[in-house]
Amino acid sequence: MPRDETDLRLHVACIMDGNGRWAGRRGLPRTDGHTAGEENLAALVRVAVKRNIGWLTVFGFSTENWRRPRPEVRHILGLHEKLFGRVAELNELNVKVQWIGRPFDSREARTPKYVQRAIRKAIADTAQNTGMVLTIAFDYGGRSELVAAVEQARTESDGITSATIGEHLYLPELPPVDVLVRTSGERRVSNFLLWQAAGAAIYFTEAPWPDFDEAELDAALALAR
């Protein structure tokens, strides 16, 4: 996955954790925390554009998150429909949307049709933008991605090498992560961009995702520069 040497713009990847705890501290239901998290992401995209970040990749929903209570999952799905629906805003910012996750036609994929539609529309309607690339991980798992890439490399390439695995990742053009952020005091790597994050600096913060603001982003960026 060689990086274009002329592209010096940073790739920041965020594990957006702590929505539930943010809500709990306020005596609110967890779903309110997810709503605040989605709004914070929309605000952070603006800041990231202002900072001239090249690639912002966010973990919206993992392959493991389907095990959460149905009402919570439904709420999060609705928020992704809303997030992918922010096309006017993203066009105004010249942001190109991508999605990373289990392909809709794969056996294990679980993304409902209405979310698939929102994803396809956001990608198509922002495809002409030339600024920051915002990649939203939904129904994503780093291990699933690697298993699929290795399977394809075995059947479609001459052999399994770093290069052939890299070519068969969900989004081969995604550059290596420069800074990996995890919010809410969890000092753990999750099942996120396991291949792409090799070599990334890691920014852990106590702030829960809805509070991850401009100052937080700057602190994360300081690790990369």
Q: Which residues bind Mg ion (CB under 5 A)?
A: 17
Binding to ligand IPE in span 70-99, by CB under 6 A = 76
In the residue annotation, 211 being an active-site residue is answered as no
Question: What x/- string results for residues 168 through 187 when contact with ligand IPE is judged by CB under 6 A?
Answer: ----------------x-x-
Nearest to 204 by CA among 225, 188, 221, 182: 182
Residues 44, 48, 56, 59: which binds ligand IPE (CB under 6 A)? Answer: 59
- How many residues belong to the chain? 225
Does residue number 15 form part of the binding site for ligand IPE (CB under 6 A)? yes
Does residue number 65 form part of the binding site for ligand IPE (CB under 6 A)? yes
Region near ligand IPE per CB under 6 A, out of 3-11, 59-67, 154-162, 164-172: 59-67
Region near ligand IPE per CB under 6 A, out of 13-21, 92-100, 126-134, 195-203: 13-21
72-94 burial: b if 16+ Cβ within 10 Å, else e? beebbbbbbeebbebbeebeebe
Q: For residue 177, what is the DSSP state? A: P
- Using CB distances below 5 to 8 A depending on partner kind, what does residue 15 bind out of Mg ion, ligand IPE, none? ligand IPE
Does residue number 133 form part of the binding site for ligand IPE (CB under 6 A)? no
Q: What count of other Cβ atoms lies within 10 Å of the Cβ of residue 66?
A: 11
- Using CB distances below 5 to 8 A depending on partner kind, what does residue 129 bind out of Mg ion, ligand IPE, none? none
- Using CB distances below 5 to 8 A depending on partner kind, what does residue 210 bind out of ligand IPE, Mg ion, none? none
Region near ligand IPE per CB under 6 A, out of 15-23, 86-94, 152-160, 172-180: 15-23
168-182 burial: b if 16+ Cβ within 10 Å, else e? bbbbeebbbbbbbbb
Residues 10, 12, 17, 44: which binds ligand IPE (CB under 6 A)? Answer: 17
Q: Using an 8 Å Cβ cutoff, are 177 and 193 in contact?
A: yes
Question: Rounded CA gap, 128 and 137, in Å?
Answer: 21
- As given in the structure block, the two tokens for residue 167 are 């070519």
Helices (H), 157-224: 162-167, 214-222
Region near ligand IPE per CB under 6 A, out of 14-22, 46-54, 92-100, 160-168: 14-22
Tokens 């106590």 correspond to: 206
44-56 burial: b if 16+ Cβ within 10 Å, else e? bbebbbebebbbb
In the residue annotation, 158 being an active-site residue is answered as no
Which parts of this chain interact with ligand IPE (CB under 6 A)? 15-21, 59-62, 65, 76, 184, 186, 190
